Amino acid sequence: MKKVLVLEDEANIRGFVVINLRRSGYEPIEASTGMEALEKWRVNPDICVALLDVMLPDIDGFEVCRRIRASGSKMGIIMLTAKSQEIDKVTGLMTGADDYVTKPFAIAELTARVDALVRRLGLEDDEKARVEITSGPFVLNTRNRTLEKNGQRLKLTQIEYMLVKLFMENPGKALSREEILAAVWGEDFRGELKTVDVNIRRLRIKIEADPTEPEFLTTVWGYGYKWGF
DSSP characters for 77-133?
A: EEEEEETT-HHHHHHHHHTT-SEEEEES--HHHHHHHHHHHHHHHHHHHHHHHHHEE
202 phi, psi to nearest 5 deg: -65, -40
* Per CB under 5 A, 9 contacts Ca ion: yes
Amino acid at 170: N
Q: How far apart are CA 45 and CA 28, in angstroms?
A: 13
* Per CB under 5 A, 215 contacts Ca ion: no
- CB of 8 vs Ca ion, minimal distance in Å: 6
* Per CB under 5 A, 160 contacts Ca ion: no
Residues 21-60 that bind Ca ion (CB under 5 A): 53, 55
Of 9 and 215, the one with the shorter C-beta distance to Ca ion is 9
- CB of 29 vs Ca ion, minimal distance in Å: 17
Contact 88, 81 (CB under 8 A): yes
Of 60 and 115, the one with the shorter C-beta distance to Ca ion is 60
Of 16 and 185, the one with the shorter C-beta distance to Ca ion is 16
Contact 175, 223 (CB under 8 A): no
Binding-site size, Ca ion (CB under 5 A): 3
**Which residue in the shown chain puts its C-beta closest to Ca ion?**
55
Q: Which stretch binds Ca ion (CB under 5 A): 6-14, 15-23, 38-46, 115-123?
A: 6-14
Amino acid at 17: V
Residues near Ca ion (CB under 5 A) are: 9, 53, 55
